[in-house]
Structure 1
């Protein structure tokens, strides 16, 4: 599969082009993307930027002038939570905890699943794990109390999800909240720098082209290039 950045200025034009070819699409709200389907096969996936939404009545992507959202990125022992007001980072915090067994490099949660009861050091790590998630959720709750939140971006491993949603301090939303979307990027170390890079990534559009969609994509790009050449020629003539 071919993966490229996609100029978000061309999104409406691309949707119109594919429609003219008789190719339908489905909107995936959890991944915030348009999935173009031909003969029951997904041939192109177009991820929408955060400053676009999908109008279910018109069945078209639309630009949004204002949006507040939180990005939550959690790994074993480190997490970052950022509140973005109108696409700009307004508040952020990085959380750290002693959750990893030094020799094995395995988180205490994974160790307990395989070994059962633990010793004093393990109990300390487990306690830090619980406090780690309590601190994260407390911070998220503060954002929800103070601001309107339109979207919730989450990156969290399946092992940690039960602790994220099942702690003493609950999340201000449940797993089925319609505002949730999965951050479509692998995040190894969720520092503030990574939080900033992820936001930049989410503000861009990305296209994934399967073999069955390659010719359609090439035809669209050929049309775009030809129109640009024509426009430049008209400008030269006016001059």
Structure 2
């Protein structure tokens, strides 16, 4: 008796989810790599929104991505690889948690962590998501909603302070699509709008925002990163030698954090 599965020998390969490989690079090595790409006239395209290069082959096909350290200037023929002074804010927001800080040239000069009662304990669902299905009739829901509004007001007050005291040149942010409207519609306004060119989406899933996570995120942003498929490993080794640090990225269960 024949079996249907015997007729599908490649089904496992077809169903395999292939995640990209990642390699973190110290900024000194990232500067060397960027200089090499420019002097060797290796073709690439620069994506300003993601602050990364797409390396191309001779036929113009994409090979791999090279995310530049946050403090690197966009490369141009007239301006070779270089680190530039940068004043920036890192803003990490999840339901009930926020960590934000002001940085100059990679050094944290000020930070603040906020917590709020926004999550329904039994269901583990944020009050914002609950409102979409059940409403806000009960007293506990009204308390959570009130704390949610205050949560974003406190965040924006601190952002306003940074904007008034410093010349902020970049805002690196991790925030889900569900929470963004509350950030930008708060009674206390943000010192930027959602189309501000200084906004930079952090290309990594961020764990519950606390101070240590804020510092870890900063370290990640100060490094370069190669993102590639397994087939490009030989090319990566040729570009880097033994430098760099391979790691498994933390893919979010809900990709809202990565797409807004």
When normalised by structure 2's length, the TM-score is 0.77
Q: Which residue of 2 aligns with 1:42?
A: 62
Deviates more, 1:169-178 or 1:68-77: 169-178
Q: Does 1:209 find its partner at 2:236?
A: no
Q: Which residue of 2 aligns with 1:231?
A: none
RMSD: 2.3
Secondary structure at 1:217 match in 2:
helix
Change (3 A) 1:57 1:162: farther
Q: Which residue of 2 aligns with 1:83?
A: 102
Secondary structure at 2:74 match in 1:
strand
Q: Which residue of 2 aligns with 1:62?
A: 82
1:69–1:151: 8 Å Cα contact kept in structure 2? Answer: yes
Alignment partners' CA distance in 1, 2:112 and 2:241: 45
Q: CA deviation at 1:206?
A: 1.4
Gap runs ≥5 in structure 2: 1-19, 244-260
Alignment partners' CA distance in 2, 1:147 and 1:183: 21
Deviates more, 1:18-27 or 1:130-139: 18-27
Q: How many equivalent pairs are there?
A: 223
1:4–1:206: 8 Å Cα contact kept in structure 2? Answer: yes
Alignment partners' CA distance in 2, 1:17 and 1:91: 36
Gap runs ≥5 in structure 1: 225-239
Structure with greater helix percent: 1
Q: Does 1:198 find its partner at 2:225?
A: no
When normalised by structure 1's length, the TM-score is 0.84
2:71–2:86: 8 Å Cα contact kept in structure 1? Answer: yes
